[in-house]
């Protein structure tokens, strides 16, 4: 076959698309902000960012998915949506972590925006899903509990098999990683928060991944009609507020201004963060109950 004339070959080379090298390692917050500008959806792909030491957010623009790395394997907390899983896996690999080295999956609560991707992540990693007795039925069925305030307002998702039950105050250990479960029902019946210590050299911080505390519901639900559930949520709010934490992370990053803090526009470390988070949740619950009472009075 005759070679192409030089002018034609040069034109073809000049018109060929240029492919940037695949990035590796955690993204800068500038890259994260560019990719997530105007986006905060459950499945909008975001690059991975380091939060502190061996703790990374590998989730979407609007949903936190935490990767905690260790020498004996890694732990992933939450799974965003099923649609977000390919990007989550790509983020894990970008950090130089093999998905099959993720040994445990943990969960905050059993709603589609946080648990919808757990089944697919379990398939990709082979990891064991660890959950509380209360969360297990919903995580495995993919359906909100009967007493969940958001039942009827959330879609079902593909359930994931729970391989181990964890009790309140029990510690999940993987090599040097030690994460403690705190059962925090209220936003959902199976809500769970997690705490542990992470160290960057001699700089150690108490991290709390506090479950959502917001009093939100499907249309037509009145919290005032469920005093026992309100009491449970109040107890959970008090429990989270009493946790010792230097660095607060939440399933919805906006709930704790995570990205602003990582960008340096607000303090990342705050020993009163859990107390402030709980105080805001308590205020919002009181406002919700007041609105419900006002609506009844106005009829």
Tell me the CATH number at 73: 3.60.15.10
* pLDDT-above-70 percentage for the chain: 93
**194 touches 131 (CB < 8 A):** no
* Domain annotation covers residue 12: no
pLDDT of residue 20: 54
The predicted model gives 273-280 an average pLDDT of 98
Residue 293 belongs to domain spanning: 29-298
**Ramachandran area for residue 263 (φ above 0: left; ψ -120 to 50: alpha; else beta):** alpha
* Domain annotation covers residue 61: yes
Beta-carbon neighbour count of residue 272 at 10 Å? 12
What is the per-residue pLDDT across 137-177, written as a single tens digit (0 to 9) for each?
999 999 999 999 999 999 999 999 999 999 999 999 999 99
Q: Supply the pTM of this predicted model.
A: 0.92
* Domain annotation covers residue 13: no
* Domain annotation covers residue 223: yes
Banded pLDDT at 42 (limits 50, 70, 90): very high
What is the per-residue pLDDT across 201-247, written as a single tens digit (0 to 9) for each?
999 999 999 999 999 999 999 999 999 999 999 999 999 999 999 99
Banded pLDDT at 4 (limits 50, 70, 90): very low
List the beta strands (DSSP E) in 61-191: 66-68, 74-77, 102-106, 128-131, 162-165, 171-174, 177-183
Rounded-to-10 torsion of CA 158, 44, 183, 271: 170
What is the DSSP pairing of strand 171-174 with strand 177-183? antiparallel
**135 touches 141 (CB < 8 A):** no
* Domain annotation covers residue 22: no
Q: How many domains does the chain have?
A: 1
- Token pair listed for 13: 């080379």
Catalytic center residues? 109, 111, 113-114, 187, 221, 252
Average pLDDT, the chain: 94
* Domain annotation covers residue 24: no
pLDDT of residue 23: 84
Q: Report the SS3 class of residue 77.
A: strand
pLDDT of residue 9: 42
* Domain annotation covers residue 7: no
């Amino acid at each position: 076959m005759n070679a192409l004339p030089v002018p034609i070959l040069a034109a073809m080379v000049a018109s060929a698309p240029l492919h940037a090298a695949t990035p590796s390692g955690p993204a800068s917050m500038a890259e994260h902000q560019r990719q997530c500008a105007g986006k905060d959806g459950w499945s909008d792909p975001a690059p991975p960012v380091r939060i502190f030491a061996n703790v990374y957010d590998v989730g979407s623009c609007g949903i936190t998915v935490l990767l905690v790395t260790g020498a004996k394997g890694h732990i992933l907390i939450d799974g965003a949506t099923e649609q977000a899983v390919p990007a989550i896996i790509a983020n894990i690999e970008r950090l130089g972590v093999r998905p099959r080295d993720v040994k445990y999956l943990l969960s905050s609560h059993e709603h589609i925006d946080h648990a919808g991707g757990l089944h697919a992540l379990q398939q990709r990693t082979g990891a064991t899903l660890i959950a509380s007795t209360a969360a297990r039925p919903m995580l495995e069925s993919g359906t909100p509990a009967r007493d969940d305030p958001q039942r009827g307002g959330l879609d079902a998702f593909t359930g994931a098999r729970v391989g181990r039950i964890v009790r309140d105050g029990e510690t999940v250990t993987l090599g040097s990683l030690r994460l403690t479960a705190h059962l925090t029902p209220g936003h959902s019946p199976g809500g769970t928060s997690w705490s542990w210590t992470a160290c960057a050299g001699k700089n150690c911080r108490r991290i709390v991944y506090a479950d959502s505390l917001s009093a939100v519901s499907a249309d037509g639900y009145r919290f005032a009609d469920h005093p026992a559930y309100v009491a449970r949520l109040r107890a959970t709010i008090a429990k989270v507020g009493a946790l010792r934490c230097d660095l607060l992370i939440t399933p919805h990053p906006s709930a704790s201004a995570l990205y602003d803090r990582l960008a340096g526009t607000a303090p990342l470390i705050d020993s009163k963060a859990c107390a402030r988070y709980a105080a805001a949740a308590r205020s919002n619950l009181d406002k919700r109950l007041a609105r419900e009472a006002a609506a009844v009075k106005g009829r």
